[in-house]
Structure 1
């Protein structure tokens, strides 16, 4: 049994193992990668970040093998540059070197957006799922809107900033709110509506150009996919595989709805934005906004609803049992943010949190 293709882009921080500071050694680490792995790496905006991209996969077992192998090689390469590879959503302690990577495109972004570019580095996990065409990608994005805050709550992994707990489960999300072209995905009538909106935002200067479409779900500019980019960098390979399986299940569910002629739920943008803020603030340790009813409900109830909704597609893809096992593990261990807070409560030491995260980064 197979479903739509799936691939993942993972961003990681390069941290000093003694201080927890970001280290601007991405070029050295990338140069140390084996040639076949370097082909799956991407230059990132900040010099303390690396990005690794999996091949296109057809099942979650294959995806897991690629993720683990790529993380292992990236960690070895980081060590040659004196850094730890850490899967975390936002800079936890400090980033002394705030220069962007030496790239004309990155300098153009820095000139356009000004001081917000100097915010400490943040890292996400982006899941790509294959779709037939761009119009379908737009429709799928509409159907995903009510579920993306739940995925975001499951993927929180950045409670720390400047060496302290922010009180937010995803500080990454709070930082990204300062960028005008990021955030919740708007509802679009079709691809032409999407293009008109992007052109208007470019004209207003909110987007530097059409490549700055960085909403939580979007038609990929590079691949024939829907790209979901709502989660922080996931602490373990198992967390990433769970996220990918759920995204693929929700995309499959959306394709079923589209084929049946059922429109996506119409939810006001301000409620969608509030639901995302709530998800980033509390993760799974509280209530989330049920966008189908507008009510606050226990987070785990909405996770259960998501699983129920996606179950037919998950079963069709052969992903139901792996996803159920992943959700049981998440319920037992908690989100990445919850795990960080437990280590910090036990040790009172941020570097102990980061050492634990470095270990989790290589956990299959």
Structure 2
């Protein structure tokens, strides 16, 4: 049976004239709910300058890609009615003073984490892939760890922060890493050890609940899925579909390795953090740490190594050609980080760069 995949995307609400983020999520969500007659796929997020949608679980990646495009278009329509636009940007290129959303949970985060909460106006993409059990899920988590940094590089879409070029391709990943539970995870070895670790982290009182387990990949606390959380939101919806396709390939490849008795790579968290930093810094423009060696290698070679690693799973799910074409496309056209920088280089205006990204968000 082919595993199902669901995608959660966070989008930035911006002023169509100035390009600056706008705190209009309440109005946009109300309009989206009215248009959907009460059954909206959109939700509020930590800041009022953003909103989130979630797709249905899909086995067919073409259907998933189409739903991502539809959901972005619906977000754009509702935002336009509220006097804004949506942009699939992982950070705002222009300066912004974020507004914390309403609700007791968000107030708790603001009180507990102070400036870290205030500065978390970041938009990510979370990919859920179905697993048969927690035991299989944890086996998958243990085996996909070295490849998560490659997914970050592929999705990198946040080169600007508060009006400045950060020199990173994914500065969102650096900001997100300020949460105490964010980042790479250790080898767990069993579902029991995973759950014991989660319970211990929540019991410290530093985290509010299991929803604050911000590992780069985790067992979802709501669905029978592995949830890969490492990626920036992708500017191009086709790249989001490619990301989801590769994540499903990784999950299936890891599950097969577990069933065959193949052990996970025993890399420590320190090396995985180095790989994530390098991916966030260079995206697909320079070198990455190759998951097989943890030594520098050209980013295209590492991305092709990921394709080779999951090739059998992609072939069995019917996604081989689509994934190959997607990888070739992103290497040719560039990630969102490159597209943003190219737009700024052409125009000298971050506003114009945001305007171009608003158009590209819908594909």
Flag whether TM exceeds 0.5 (same fold).
yes
The corresponding residue for 1:40 is: 41
Q: What stretches of structure 1 move > 3 A for 4+ residues in a row?
A: 203-206
Deviation at 1:224, TM superposition (A): 0.7
Aligned residues: 361
Deviation at 1:209, TM superposition (A): 2.3
Q: Secondary structure at the match of 2:114?
A: helix
Deviation at 1:216, TM superposition (A): 0.9
Deviation at 1:18, TM superposition (A): 2.3
Deviation track 1:256-288 (CA, whole Å, cap 9, x = no partner) reads: 101101111110110000100110010011111
Deviation track 1:27-52 (CA, whole Å, cap 9, x = no partner) reads: 11111112268521122111111101
Matches within 5 A, 1:234-253: 234-253=234-253
The corresponding residue for 1:264 is: 264
For structure 1, the residue ranges without an aligned partner over 5 or more in a row are none
The corresponding residue for 1:29 is: 28
83-92 vs 100-109, which moves further: 100-109
Deviation at 1:199, TM superposition (A): 2.6
Deviation at 1:120, TM superposition (A): 4.7
The corresponding residue for 2:178 is: 178
| Native 8 Å contact 2:159 2:168 kept in 1 | yes
| Native 8 Å contact 1:181 1:206 kept in 2 | no
Q: Secondary structure at the match of 1:127?
A: strand
Q: Secondary structure at the match of 2:125?
A: strand
The corresponding residue for 2:80 is: 79
For structure 2, the residue ranges without an aligned partner over 5 or more in a row are none
The corresponding residue for 1:70 is: 71
Q: Secondary structure at the match of 1:129?
A: strand
Distance of 1:242 and 1:225 partners within structure 2? 19
- Please, what TM-score do these two structures have when normalized by structure 2? 0.96
Q: Secondary structure at the match of 2:151?
A: helix
| Native 8 Å contact 2:19 2:355 kept in 1 | no
- Please, what TM-score do these two structures have when normalized by structure 1? 0.96
The corresponding residue for 1:294 is: 294
Deviation track 1:171-208 (CA, whole Å, cap 9, x = no partner) reads: 10111121111111322121221122223322334423
Deviation at 1:361, TM superposition (A): 0.6
- CA pair 122-38 structure 1, distance change in 2 beyond 3 A: farther
Matches within 5 A, 1:117-196: 117-196=117-196
- CA pair 238-52 structure 1, distance change in 2 beyond 3 A: same
Distance of 2:362 and 2:37 partners within structure 1? 19
The corresponding residue for 1:3 is: 2
Q: Secondary structure at the match of 1:68?
A: helix
The corresponding residue for 2:89 is: 88
